[in-house]
Structure 1
Amino acid sequence: MVELRDDDSDWSPAMIIKEMVEENEKSFIVRYCDGKFLVKSGIATVDSRKVRPRQPLVSLGEYELLDHVEVFDGSLWRRGVVRGILTLEGRYMVSFWGAKSAWQFSYSDLRPLMEWEDGIWQKRPKSKSGSFGKCYSRKRKRVEVEDCPDHNQNDTGNVLNANVFLLSLFLGLC
């Protein structure tokens, strides 16, 4: 199993069917599905820069405000920033690039943001600024919290959905 980059720099699960090399350029034929399991699925030939292995499991402990993370959102790993911590519920408020609001996610739906470079997983250094803007002071306005049932599942909801998604991809149901 691998992850396939879409146009928005999100990563979705995929399976390599065949590896091809033409003129020293590597490409892959992959099987992929979207979160609806039927709407956008199929087989595609993609450049090697759009494919990476699945990120290794990393036990991080707890995330801090403004940590850059990836969130499993339905069928994609999306980049986000931790904007709030709901300590008693074990949940995090995460906003995505270009969004003014934040959504709740369980700890089990988050993973540290890592980059696949030269065949090695590189941890992103902890930074309180970066692609999502400057470090905010206490005077920062509160973000609007969306109450979206798809994003506010129980602790195992998205992990279970990810496993069902991967199983259906493997079995060729997509």
Structure 2
Amino acid sequence: MAPKPTTVSTTRWRFQPGTRVEISPNDVGFVGSWFTGTVLKAYRNKYLVQYETLVTDLDPSEPVRETLDVSQLRPFPSRETLRELRVGDDVDAYYNEGWWEGVVTEELAGGRLGVFFRASREHIGFEKEDLRLHRDWVHGKWVPPFQQDEKVSSTTEVKVKSIEAKTTQEIFSKGTLVEVGSDEDGFHGAWFAATIVAEAVGKGKFLVQYQSLRTDDDSGFLREEIDTLHIRPYPPETLVVDRFNLYEEVDACYNDGWWVGVISKVLVGTKYRVFFRDTNEEMEFQHSNLRPHQEWIDGKWVMASLAQEL
């Protein structure tokens, strides 16, 4: 029997591991603030995240990790052409390693703007480059929406086309979020989220730091030199698949990475059996721990075709 086409939802949003997001802590003293971080693991309605700027009290080199509700996350905001801020504008001000909601109350000397924070009742002066228009993430949309003029949009399109024309090595730079694969026994068919630490430490190689894999002594996140054949960009965020179908290729989130498999059985509710050819194993997964399988081919992401047989 031929598999049915995949149905895609256009009304829901899901953050994949490795996605850069903004996080709203629910601790006292953090009301109205957003901090940059990365999703490490996705559960049903919760996510394990790691902050970029907040560190633990015991180790200043160790980023804070938390498991938070989906309501405390939102996509990393787009860049836009910023109009002149005016008195009365609701803004976010970059302060104490995060973005804090306030309102512009006055123009100060030197082009600075005074911002009042309702939550803390403080009034602080800021350079304009440390301010942005305040927006809320409501039902999968920014309110108010981002405004970009034609020049910015055209420039963005040119950049996208130029990226497609570049080689794999050229599109990677320091700080780029990537996925790393391995040919080692027990890891074939798995991809792990990592960040480029240094460019071209050897011919055709990069130094990467994994987002979830740690050193043997658990002293920090594992770093390795990887050749370009085993590095690819992090897959683009996709719309949520309402239901996976029999024989469909998927990536399953397991043991801190994404493993390529095939849906071998659709179970009751939101569960599936997934067969892994490389290990000849079959395991059960929740829908939230699966994503459509894609391949990075000739500088482009290609959605995998449905498998014909196990």
Q: TM-score, normalised by structure 1?
A: 0.63
**Cα offsets for 1:43-102 (capped at 9, x unmatched):** 2211111111111222333111111111010211101111111232x1111121245552
Query: 1:100/1:43 Cα in 2 relative to 1: closer, same or farther (>3 Å)?
Result: closer
Whether 1:39 aligns to 2:219 is: no
Which residue number in structure 1 is paired with residue 294 of structure 2? 114
**Number of aligned residues:** 126
Which residue number in structure 1 is paired with residue 260 of structure 2? 79
**Contact 1:71-1:111 at 8 Å conserved across structures:** yes
SS of 2:209's equivalent in the other structure is: strand
Deviation at 1:123, TM superposition (A): 0.8
Q: Report 1:55-70 matches (<5 A).
A: 55-59=235-239, 60-70=241-251
**Cα offsets for 1:11-49 (capped at 9, x unmatched):** 011110011186xx53211112665x3438522211111
Which residue number in structure 1 is paired with residue 204 of structure 2? 26
**Contact 1:68-1:81 at 8 Å conserved across structures:** yes
**Contact 2:190-2:257 at 8 Å conserved across structures:** yes
SS of 1:49's equivalent in the other structure is: helix
Query: Which runs of no fewer than 5 residues in structure 1 stay unpaired?
Result: 134-174
**Contact 2:201-2:225 at 8 Å conserved across structures:** no
Which residue number in structure 2 is paired with residue 145 of structure 1? none
User: Which structure has the higher relative contact order (CA within 8 Å, separation 6+)?
Assistant: 1
Separation in structure 1 between the aligned mates of residue 282 and residue 204 of structure 2, nearest angstrom: 38
Query: 1:33/1:6 Cα in 2 relative to 1: closer, same or farther (>3 Å)?
Result: farther
Find 1:5's aligned residue among 170, 177, 181.
181
Please identify runs of 4+ aligned residues in structure 1 that moved more than 4 A.
98-101
SS of 1:128's equivalent in the other structure is: coil
Deviation at 1:113, TM superposition (A): 1.2
- Larger relative strand fraction: 2
Deviation at 1:112, TM superposition (A): 1.2
* Letter in structure 2 aligned against 1:39: D
Once the two structures are aligned, what percentage of the paired residues are identical?
27
Separation in structure 2 between the aligned mates of residue 99 and residue 45 of structure 1, nearest angstrom: 26
**Contact 1:29-1:45 at 8 Å conserved across structures:** yes
Query: 1:58/1:33 Cα in 2 relative to 1: closer, same or farther (>3 Å)?
Result: closer
Which residue number in structure 2 is paired with residue 125 of structure 1? 305
**Contact 1:66-1:128 at 8 Å conserved across structures:** yes
Which residue number in structure 2 is paired with residue 95 of structure 1? 275
Query: Which runs of no fewer than 5 residues in structure 2 stay unpaired?
Result: 1-176
Which residue number in structure 1 is paired with residue 197 of structure 2? 17
* Letter in structure 1 aligned against 2:246: L
Separation in structure 2 between the aligned mates of residue 48 and residue 110 of structure 1, nearest angstrom: 26
Query: 1:73/1:29 Cα in 2 relative to 1: closer, same or farther (>3 Å)?
Result: same
Q: TM-score, normalised by structure 2?
A: 0.37
Separation in structure 1 between the aligned mates of residue 180 and residue 235 of structure 2, nearest angstrom: 12
Q: CA RMSD in A?
A: 2.3
* Letter in structure 2 aligned against 1:69: V
